[in-house]
Each structure stands twice: as structure tokens, then as C-alpha cells.
């Protein structure tokens, strides 16, 4: 049997069952008469079959999967937040160290100015210029500075050392040696600060591009929509099977009625033939024999009536029942 594509499905709770059922019945009659569609009240199907359990199980599976998608993404998002927080904590420590080192450098610069004033050294004096070259030599001995001396500077340094380093220059070189330690801290701490900031910016940018929670919500919604579509498909399939079963039952009932009708028509035809034969015989039969024949005819009619009663046929069935083959 072919099932048309135009199918209307009624679902809902008990409060709306009566109204929906009535509407479904009216629509079913209307659609059956046109043969163009079918109206299904799914509420009648669910209590009578395992379909309700299957739908509930499928929905529970979809909800579990959707929650797992969102939950896993949430956990991942929290891990990202944890990474960002770790970088922030690290930045706080680095900035504190950086600030302390810069403060120490400022203090040493002030101390250097005090020594210059104490020894009454002019900034453009030869002694001060020689000191700057000696400081550069100290810095070149630290690999992290990347400072290198030229041959001319090395020759000049040799001359300064041969001439002898002054007391002022010795004091300032001690200050500069301590300053180099804090400069190293500033150098490496500043580089680490840049790295941590780059990490935080990268994580934030990647999060903005992917928007993991939004994507997870979309995936979860798609899972639930797919489960809903599958549930509708299950209801439609179950409804088709239900309609096929009902239609097959009605066709079987119609065939049974048709068979009874044909049997009764055969009996009536045989009865008519006998009556015709009797009428022919009665034309030339004496009165006594005619009376006996009428009694036999009455008995035959009674026998036929008994047979009809046994077949559970009403008078309308004998005359011919109208069977709706479009049901």
C-alpha cells in the first residue's frame, strides 16, 4: 500500500489529547475521502508501542552528547583561563623584579653623580672620558650585552692602564660593576615580560577567532535538532506501519463481507432458479400436488432463512452491502 507524503502529526500532553484526537479524526476522514494525505495523532501510538521508550532514550542520548560537547569545551575554556592567569601571575612577579632592578639602577646612578661631585670631575674631562671607556670594557665582558671593543679602543685602554687608573675611576668602576648586575636583571626580565604579554595576546586572539563556547553551543544545538528530526522520522515510520496495519485489517474485513455477499448471491440465484422451476411445474400440477409443493416451498424458504441466520447476515447484507474500498 502506498502512503502519501502529506502527513500531519499531532503530539502533546494529556490536556490537549481530546481536542487533538477529535481534530485528527475529522482530518483522517477528510483525507481518506480525497486520498491525498494522512493525519496522525501520535499520542495514540506512543502508549501502545515501544516508540515512547525509544524516543525518550534517543532524546536522553542527544542531551548527554550535547552536554558533553558543552562541558568539554567549558573545561577547555577554563584551562585556557588558567593559562592566562598563570601568565598574569608570572607577569606580576616579573614586573616587580623589573621595578626593583630599575630602582637599584637609579640609586646607583645617583651615587655615581655624588662621587663625580665629590672628586670635582667635569663631564667632558679626559678622566671622565677614560672612565667611560673602562666602563665599556666591563660591559664587553658580559656576553648578554653583545658589546665588543674595537682595536682602537683596546689600544686606548692599554694606554690608560699603563698610565694608571685613578682613585675616582676605581670607585666608579665598583659602582658600575654593581650596576651591570641590575642591568642584566632588567634586560632578561624585560624580555620575559614581552614573552608573557605575547602569550596572553596570542591566547586571546585565538579565542576570538575560534569562539569555542559559541561553536560548542552550535554543535550542541545541531545534535538536539538532529535528534528531533530523527524522532519525527521514527514517529512517521511508526505511523505508516500503524496505518498499513489498519488498512490491511479494513481490507480483510471488506473481503470477508464481499465473500459473504457473493455466497448469499449464489444462494439467492439458486433459490430464484428453483422458484422458476416450481412455477413451471405448478402450471400443470393438480391441486393436491400443488398444496404439497407449496408446503415444500415453505420448508425450503425456512431452510434458507436458517442458513442466512447462521451466516450472521442482516437483511441489508442479503440485498448487497456497500463496501468502502478507499478506507
| Same-domain status, 88 and 200 | yes
Residues 204 and 182 in one domain: yes
Name the residue range of residue 277's domain: 259-320
Query: Is 171 within the bounds of a domain?
Result: yes
Classify burial at 113, counting beta carbons within 10 Å of its beta carbon; exposed 0-12, middle 13-18, buried 19 or more. Answer: exposed
- pLDDT tens figures, 53-86: 777 777 787 777 777 776 666 666 677 788 888 8
Question: What pLDDT was estimated at residue 30?
Answer: 45
Residue 284 is classified by DSSP as: S
One domain, residues 129 and 180:
yes
State pLDDT tens for residues 5-53.
Answer: 444 544 444 445 445 545 554 554 444 444 444 555 555 555 556 777 7
CA atoms within 13 A on the CB side of 319: 4
For residue 326, tell me if it sits in a domain: no
My answer on whether 76 and 202 are in the same domain is yes
Higher-scoring residue by pLDDT: 49, 145: 145
User: Which tens digits make up the pLDDT trace of 201-248?
Assistant: 888 887 777 666 566 666 677 767 777 777 777 777 777 776 777 778
Q: What does pLDDT average to over the chain?
A: 76
**Tell me, what DSSP letter sits at residue 47?**
G
pTM of the shown model: 0.47
User: Does 162 share its domain with 202?
Assistant: yes
**pLDDT tens digits, 81-112:** 888 888 899 999 999 999 999 999 999 999 99
Q: Residue 4 pLDDT more than 60?
A: no
Domain-embedded: residue 22? yes
**Same-domain check for residues 239 and 110:** no
Co-location of 24 and 84 in the same domain: no
Domain assignment of residue 327, yes or no: no
Find the distance separating the first CA and the last CA of the chain, reported in whole Å. 12
Is pLDDT at 313 greater than 60 in this prediction? no
> What is the tally of structural domains in the chain?
3
Does some domain include residue 303? yes
- Report if residue 325 sits inside a domain: no
Please check whether residue 43 is in contact with residue 17, taking contact to mean a CB–CB distance below 8 angstroms.
Answer: yes
Cα 156 to Cα 33: distance, rounded to the nearest angstrom: 116
Same domain assignment for residues 63 and 108:
no
Residue 2 domain-assigned (yes or no): no
Same domain, 127 and 206: yes
Amino acid at each position: 500500500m502506498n502512503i502519501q507524503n502529506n502527513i500531519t502529526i499531532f503530539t502533546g500532553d494529556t490536556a490537549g489529547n481530546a481536542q487533538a484526537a477529535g481534530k485528527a479524526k475529522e482530518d483522517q476522514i477528510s483525507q481518506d475521502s480525497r486520498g491525498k494525505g494522512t493525519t496522525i495523532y501520535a499520542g495514540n501510538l506512543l502508549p501502545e508501542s515501544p516508540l515512547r521508550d525509544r524516543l525518550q532514550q534517543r532524546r536522553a542520548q542527544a542531551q548527554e552528547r550535547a552536554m558533553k560537547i558543552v562541558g568539554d569545551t567549558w573545561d577547555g575554556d577554563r584551562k585556557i583561563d588558567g593559562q592566562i592567569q598563570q601568565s598574569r601571575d608570572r607577569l606580576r612577579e616579573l614586573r616587580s623584579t623589573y621595578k626593583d632592578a630599575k630602582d637599584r639602577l637609579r640609586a646607583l646612578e645617583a651615587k655615581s653623580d655624588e662621587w663625580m661631585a665629590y672628586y670635582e670631575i667635569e663631564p667632558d674631562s679626559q678622566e671622565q672620558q677614560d672612565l667611560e671607556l673602562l666602563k665599556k670594557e666591563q660591559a664587553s665582558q658580559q656576553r648578554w650585552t653583545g658589546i665588543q671593543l674595537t682595536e682602537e679602543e683596546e689600544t686606548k685602554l692599554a694606554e690608560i692602564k699603563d698610565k694608571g687608573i685613578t682613585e675616582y675611576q676605581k670607585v666608579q668602576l665598583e659602582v658600575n660593576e654593581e650596576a651591570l648586575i641590575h642591568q642584566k636583571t632588567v634586560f632578561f626580565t624585560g624580555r620575559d615580560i614581552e614573552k608573557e604579554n605575547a602569550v596572553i595576546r596570542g591566547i586571546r586572539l585565538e579565542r576570538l577567532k575560534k569562539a569555542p563556547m559559541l561553536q560548542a553551543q552550535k554543535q550542541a544545538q545541531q545534535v538536539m535538532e538532529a535528534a528531533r528530526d530523527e524522532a519525527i522520522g521514527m514517529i512517521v515510520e511508526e505511523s505508516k506501519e500503524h496505518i498499513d496495519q489498519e488498512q490491511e485489517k479494513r481490507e480483510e474485513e471488506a473481503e470477508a463481507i464481499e465473500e459473504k455477499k457473493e455466497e448469499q448471491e449464489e444462494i439467492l440465484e439458486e433459490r430464484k432458479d428453483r422458484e422458476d422451476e416450481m412455477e413451471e411445474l405448478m402450471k400443470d400440477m393438480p391441486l393436491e400436488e400443488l398444496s404439497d409443493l407449496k408446503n415444500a416451498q415453505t420448508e425450503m424458504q425456512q431452510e434458507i432463512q436458517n442458513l442466512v441466520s447462521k451466516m450472521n447476515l442482516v437483511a441489508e447484507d442479503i440485498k448487497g452491502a456497500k463496501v468502502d474500498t478507499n478506507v
